[in-house]
Amino acid sequence: MASARVSLRSLVPVVAAVAVVYFASYLGAWMQVTFRDRRPVLYLLGDSITENGANPDKSGWVALLQHRYQRSTDVLPRGLSGYNTKWFIEFALPVIKRELSDGSISPSLITLWLGANDAALTDGPSARQHVPLEAYATNLETIVYMLKASAPDAELLLITPPHVDDAARQIRSKTGRLDRSNTMAGEYARVCVETAGKVGVTVLDVHSLFNAMSARERTMCLEDGLHLSAWGNRLMDRLLRTKIADAFPALMSRLEVWDIPNWNRLP
């Protein structure tokens, strides 16, 4: 009997240690769920480059973000193929304003990527999409101020119109006329950067980044001289995450934290 009591007594520290580990695991998992901040939301506004970005078959940059952050963040794209800033204000902004104002969406970061269609050439087959340069700048300001008013706690990021490969666009033209040019896109990218500075928001100048590449690299990144290929989408994913880390480090740290604990942390 005495030896049995000694054996049982020797097990007490072991049982206590196991209980402590179990409780700590349970407490850690419980605190992660109970005291975590609201799940971050990335609200991605734009044209076809954003809409196509949600296509997993092309390794879309939006789809890559959704996959990477599925355990921590809601990535909500609002990509509208063919839209310029004028149509965006007239038809998209009322819907977006309603989503933000009624609390349906509470974004941590809003990206705005418009201008590829505004920069359509006035004598080309896509002239109907063209918005004059000064109007483009004014429209960007209008959109940004509305977003600031409707989502005052959100970070904002403007993205410039992309690089255009004139030769690739010419080859694909059904009319023989060029619809867009890199020179024109560059002017709209410049205005986008200037507008971002004027209204006090961060900008990602993808036009300059693509211009700095070799012709071979750009060809790999663009599937038709304008829209991103799978390679270009993967690059855009990296560029955006790098910009978020540099400009909004507090947000980036939240993107890395799961809102529901992993199974191996459960008791």
Identified catalytic residue from 81, 101, 224, 246: 224
Is the model more confident about 30 or about 135? 135
Res 178 pLDDT > 60: yes
**82 Cβ contact list (under 8 Å, min separation 6):** 47, 48, 117, 129
Query: pTM of the full predicted structure?
Result: 0.87
Identified catalytic residue from 25, 48, 173, 208: 48
The sign of the torsion formed by the CA atoms of 223, 229, 231, 234 equals positive
Contact criterion met (CB below 8 Å) for 239 and 192: no
Q: With cut-offs at 50, 70 and 90, classify the pLDDT of residue 12.
A: low
Mean pLDDT over residues 113-128, rounded?
98
Range scoring the smallest mean pLDDT among 13-27, 42-56, 179-193? 13-27
Helix then strand count (H, E) for the chain reads 12, 5
- Give me the pLDDT at residue 35, please: 44
Average pLDDT, the chain: 91
Res 162 pLDDT > 90: yes
- Give me the pLDDT at residue 174, please: 86
Mark whether 48 is an active-site residue.
yes
Q: String of b and e for 7-32 (b: at least 16 CB within 10 Å)?
A: eeeeeeeeeeeeeeeeeeeeeebeeb
Q: Domain residues of the chain, as ranges?
A: 1-35, 39-259
Q: With cut-offs at 50, 70 and 90, classify the pLDDT of residue 183.
A: very high
Q: Would you call 118 exposed, middle or buried from its count of C-beta atoms within 10 A (0-12, 13-18, 19+)? A: buried
Q: With cut-offs at 50, 70 and 90, classify the pLDDT of residue 29.
A: very low
Identified catalytic residue from 130, 163, 207, 227: 227
Task: For residue 153, give the 3-state DSSP assignment.
Answer: coil
CATH topology of domain 39-259: Rossmann fold (3.40.50)
Share of the chain above pLDDT 70, in %: 87
